[in-house]
Amino acid sequence: MATDPIHQFQIHRLIPIEIGGLDLSFTNSSLFMVVTAGLAAGFLYWSTSGRGLIPGRLQSVSELFYEFVAGMLRDSAGSQGMRFFPFVFALFMFVLLANLIGLIPYFFTVTSHIIVTFSLAITVTAVVMGYGIYKHGLSWFAVFKPSGVPPAVAPFVILIEVISFLSRPISHSVRLFANMLAGHVTLKVFAGFVVSLSALGAVGVGGAILPLLMTVALTALELIVAVLQAYVFAILTCMYLNDAVHPHH
Amino acid sequence: MPADEKRSASTAPPAAGADAVPPGEWERRRQDLGERLATRRVNQPKVSEKGSPTMQGMAQGMRLGSEFVGGVLVGGGIGFLIDHFAGTMPIALIIFLMLGFAAGVLNVVRSVQGDKSRSVTMANTESSKSATSDGPGGA
């Protein structure tokens, strides 16, 4: 059981709660979501509490995060997109910290569950549609009709555009989920080799060095993937939000 | 201790040797820094903050793959649902699978084009940025 690569993704009920037949238990997944959000908020609050004109080390880190996300959003969605800054910044920090916390042994990876990433992605799509319709009215639906399309093929093009739009939350969520799941399974499989090989005596212990080296290398790779996927998630959110702000492309 | 009183009463930043700075010096330095930042911010978007080429390639590969699969899945799903409720089992599934395929290709093409044309749109947003305030709570 200790080397079962899927075991790490199991969800346990910590505090069983049931309301109206719905299982709303506080699980280990919920616990790590709370920890992630609390850690992100706590770090930012704590590191910026000094409010120094000349930032210290921790304040510099917070300001780097701010500048990074602000630059990303401004490049993708323009200055009008900056009203979504709190949303994008919260998403980025949550995904980044959830990915990084998941790398610590015995910790649960929230973003390796598709329901979590999908709810984040569908929230982005809901914000894009909701804000677009609120701001531009029904003319926002012109986003589905590219300019200069001959009327004969317009129905097909619009249908394809609608499917393309609807596929966004899926590709957006599957990318993050699949990266985290695959990475953690690979890591666990190689770490399992170390355990099962070292049970074979002296030769096995010698041979176990190879998968151990692999595990070390994979851990470094996973660190890159964790940061990179948070970045990709955030930049795609910015690009989708661009459609809400500027529907006529 | 008159020197200590003077230091605690002054509002200068807690840098060492704050007494040595003449009164208008901080104002002048701040203006100088503001000017230098202003000239630097104009050039800033040209410098991309992306990672190394290999990291970028890996991210792009994953993105294009899921982009394409997402289109096919959603197209097939819509077709299946229409069939399920209209009772025309294979017809809409086939049609919408084709449309989903097209949407997947469109996603991929658009995603690649977006990478290339982002530098162009950046120049457009740069001109409008100076007119409006660009803080997060600005609008």
Tokens of A151: 């009327």
Per-residue pLDDT of chain A (249 residues; tens, 9 = 90+): 456 778 888 888 888 888 878 888 888 899 999 999 999 999 999 988 877 778 888 889 999 999 999 999 998 888 888 999 999 999 999 999 999 999 998 899 999 999 999 999 999 999 999 999 998 888 888 888 877 888 888 888 888 889 989 998 998 898 899 889 988 998 999 988 888 888 888 888 888 888 999 999 999 999 998 998 999 899 889 988 988 888 775
Smallest Cβ–Cβ distance between B136 and the set A71, A86, A156 belongs to A86
Residue A134 near chain B (CB below 8 Å): no
B48 inside domain: no
Whether residues B55 and A224 touch (CB distance < 8 A) is answered with yes
Whether residues A167 and B134 touch (CB distance < 8 A) is answered with no
Q: Which residues in chain A (219-248) have CB-CB distances under 8 A to chain B?
A: 224, 228-229, 231-232, 236, 239
A37 inside domain: yes
Decide if pLDDT at B139 tops 50.
no
Tell me the residue range of the domain where B116 lies. 54-120
B71 inside domain: yes
B126 inside domain: no
Tell me the residue range of the domain where A167 lies. 7-245
Residue B58 near chain A (CB below 8 Å): yes
B87 inside domain: yes
Whether residues B129 and A236 touch (CB distance < 8 A) is answered with no
How far apart are alpha carbons A164 and B105 in whole angstroms? 9
B2 inside domain: no
Decide if pLDDT at B125 tops 60.
no
Q: Give the CA distances from residue A247 to residues A88, A138, A164, A241, B76, in Å, rounded to whole numbers and listed in that order.
A: 19, 11, 15, 10, 26
Tally of structural domains, chain A: 1
Per-residue pLDDT band at B7 (split at 50, 70, 90): very low
B43 inside domain: no
Angle at alpha carbon of residue A25, lines to A22 and A183, rounded to 5°: 110
Residue A159 near chain B (CB below 8 Å): yes
For residue B89, give the DSSP letter. H
B97 inside domain: yes
**Angle, in degrees to the nearest 10, between helices A209-245 and A85-102:** 170
Helix (H) or strand (E) segment spanning residue B53: helix B53-86
For residue A22, what are the β-bridge partners?
A19
Residue of higher predicted confidence among B133 and A245: A245
In the three-class reduction of DSSP (H, G, I as helix; E, B as strand; rest coil), residue B5 is classed as helix
Tally of structural domains, chain B: 1
What pTM did the predictor assign?
0.73
A23 inside domain: yes
B29 inside domain: no
Q: Which residues in chain B (12-41) have CB-CB distances under 8 A to chain A?
A: 13, 15
Cα-flanking dihedrals φ and ψ of residue A157, to 5°?
A: -60, -40
A2 inside domain: no
A1 inside domain: no
Write out chain A residues lying below 8 Å of B51, CB-based: 228, 231
Amino acid B97: pLDDT: 92
How far apart are alpha carbons B123 and B38 in whole angstroms? 16
A167 inside domain: yes
Smallest Cβ–Cβ distance between A175 and the set B49, B63, B118 belongs to B63
For residue A50, give the DSSP letter. T
Residue A157 near chain B (CB below 8 Å): no
A-to-B residue pairs, Cβ atoms closer than 8 angstroms: 112
List all residues 6 or more positions away from B98 whose beta carbon is below 8 Å from its beta carbon: B75
How far apart are alpha carbons B104 and B115 in whole angstroms? 17
Whether residues A174 and B78 touch (CB distance < 8 A) is answered with no
Smallest Cβ–Cβ distance between A163 and the set B62, B74, B138 belongs to B74
Q: Is the ipTM of this complex over 0.85?
A: no
Smallest Cβ–Cβ distance between B74 and the set A76, A170, A228 belongs to A170
